[in-house]
Amino acid sequence: MIKLVVFDLDNVLIDTETIDEIAKIKGIENEISDITLQAMQGKIPFEESIRQRVKKLEGISTEEIDEALKDIPLNKGAVETASELKKQGYEIAIITGSFDVMAERIKEEIGADYVFCNILEVENGKLNGEVSGPLVTQNKVDVLRQLVDDIGITLDECAAIGDGANDLEMIKNAKIGIAFNAKPILRENADFEINEKDLRKVLDIMADEEKITQEEVVEETIEQEPEVTENTTTEEEVVAEEEATEEVEETEEAEEASEEETIDYSILNFQQLLQCKRTLESELTDLKNVRDQMNEETKEFRKERDELNQELKDTLKVALEKRNTRDEINKEVRENKNLRNECNEELKKVEWNSGKKEISNIQAEINKIDKTIQTKVLDIRKENELVKRVSDLTKQLKKIQSDEEEEKTAAQLKEKSEQYHQKVVELSDKAQAIHEEMIEYFNQIDGIREKADAKHQDFINSRNNATAKHEEVKAKLSEIRKVNKFMDQAKAAPKGRKAEEKSDNDVREKEEAEEIFQKFKDGKKLTTDEFLLLQKYNIM
């Protein structure tokens, strides 16, 4: 039995996204909406999306927020639905990844018992771009689990209403999951859909709670059904039963000839009714057996579906862990690349300062002059100038001495650069391997989800079939009670018939006695029986 009803806030209790309304103050609602949509569609993790969005709100004042949110209306039927649920004894909770500036107000307006939301951090009256709260790092279902533990119930006693991907686990784990104008990923996993903006439709679903949880309710109903007891048959009724055998057989033939025809029990005698009842009880036993078997199948389908959903959740968890590990390794790759590049830049500076670059430049010029002298025809004056230049450069080259300390530093930097590069290669290979493992897990998720969806459909079909069969059981019980009523009425009938038969016999005997007396007067001799008959009616 449901005891707690949980609502999401944005696009469920209110017809907007709170963060979008706040973003309008800064004129960045399109940027925020794009990130929100990706989160609702499950394309980016919710924690990442909410931190990205809140960061963009930095600098907005609390006064501006209060003004922007004060006129945001509730969705149609929100107050009426909450009020009616409270009257029926349900507790109400709001679990939302949205913010306290709106959630606390809505809690008061609908009279909710609990609210769990995130908090926009404020410094000096303005948002500082940070966010805290239970829904930043936790999934909604984790918050719901903690709540049901605190109030002493289970998830099987909860109904949840949501619209986006961050509601998925809560919708799947609650006894009744309702997708309210939801994204496809949520509709695929919900027990019920509401595709119009009217929360009063929730009341219709809750009113049909017995049908929703048929596999549990059927068992409770059967335990409470009164046991059908057969009326005690008297000795006279046993005799009458033998006499009525032929009539019962005729009745059975008539029933077989027209199974759809309603039996008029008022025209049947007690033994015919008794036979009808026994037939109905046999049919009831068969129906109960079939229904119970269906309920067992339904439970098995549900168990298999839940196991697949758990496998899906576990596989997704591993895939996300792989992704996080890959991202951490890639972060190390970037750090080592930066360190390697810094070493290389420093090495260039050291090599230049140590004279190696100057030596290289002088040698290049000498080589160029030698080539010119050897390949071109020059006048004597020009050739002498070039020869002198080579001589001067050679002397200069001999004077240049490399600094030993700088050479040692250069060697150390080169060694470090090579070490960082080797680290980059190793980490890149490791990140690639983990990335491939992550892809494999994500590929497995698609197959598991397909199986879980198919098993959920089997569960729904089986539950509906069990519900229909239970309706047949109830109808058969009603028919048996109806027969019992007519049997009670028919119990007195045999005594009435015997009294009537006795009266008819008396009349015939008296008439016979009068005839005998008339013959006696005419001289006929009387036998002892005839004489006693005359005495019985005081004719003599």
Distance between CA atoms of residues 431 and 333, nearest Å: 9
In this structure, are residues 463 and 274 in contact, taking their beta carbons and an 8 Å threshold? no
In this structure, are residues 95 and 135 in contact, taking their beta carbons and an 8 Å threshold? yes
DSSP 8-state secondary structure symbol assigned to residue 228: P
| Helix (H) and strand (E) counts in the chain | 21, 7
Terminal-residue alpha carbon distance, the chain: 84
Distance between CA atoms of residues 138 and 131, nearest Å: 13
In this structure, are residues 1 and 209 in contact, taking their beta carbons and an 8 Å threshold? yes
Number of Cβ within 10 Å of residue 36's Cβ equals 22
Handedness of CA 74, 78, 83, 86 (dihedral sign): negative
DSSP 8-state secondary structure symbol assigned to residue 266: G
Burial class (CB in 10 A: 0-12, 13-18, 19+), 402: middle
Catalytic-labelled residue, pool 10, 163, 167, 191: 10
In this structure, are residues 157 and 148 in contact, taking their beta carbons and an 8 Å threshold? yes
Q: Kindly list the distances between the CA atom of residue 444 and the CA atoms of 130, 257, 320, 449, 517, in Å, as whole numbers in the listed order.
A: 36, 57, 13, 9, 109
Distance between CA atoms of residues 378 and 386, nearest Å: 10
DSSP 8-state secondary structure symbol assigned to residue 72: P
β-strand 4-7 against 91-99: which pairing, if any? parallel
Distance between CA atoms of residues 501 and 374, nearest Å: 157
Distance between CA atoms of residues 77 and 13, nearest Å: 9
Active site residue 10: yes
Distance between CA atoms of residues 440 and 418, nearest Å: 33
Total number of residues shown for the chain: 540
In this structure, are residues 355 and 400 in contact, taking their beta carbons and an 8 Å threshold? yes
Residue for token pair 């010119």? 372
Catalytic-labelled residue, pool 8, 163, 167, 191: 8
Q: Kindly list the distances between the CA atom of residue 156 and the CA atoms of 138, 172, 174, 219, 303, in Å, as whole numbers in the listed order.
A: 21, 11, 6, 16, 13
Distance between CA atoms of residues 55 and 120, nearest Å: 10
Three-state DSSP at 161 gives strand
Quick one: which H or E segment has residue 55? helix 46-56
Three-state DSSP at 129 gives strand
Handedness of CA 415, 420, 421, 423 (dihedral sign): positive
Distance between CA atoms of residues 365 and 317, nearest Å: 65
Which sequence positions are flagged as catalytic? Answer: 8, 10
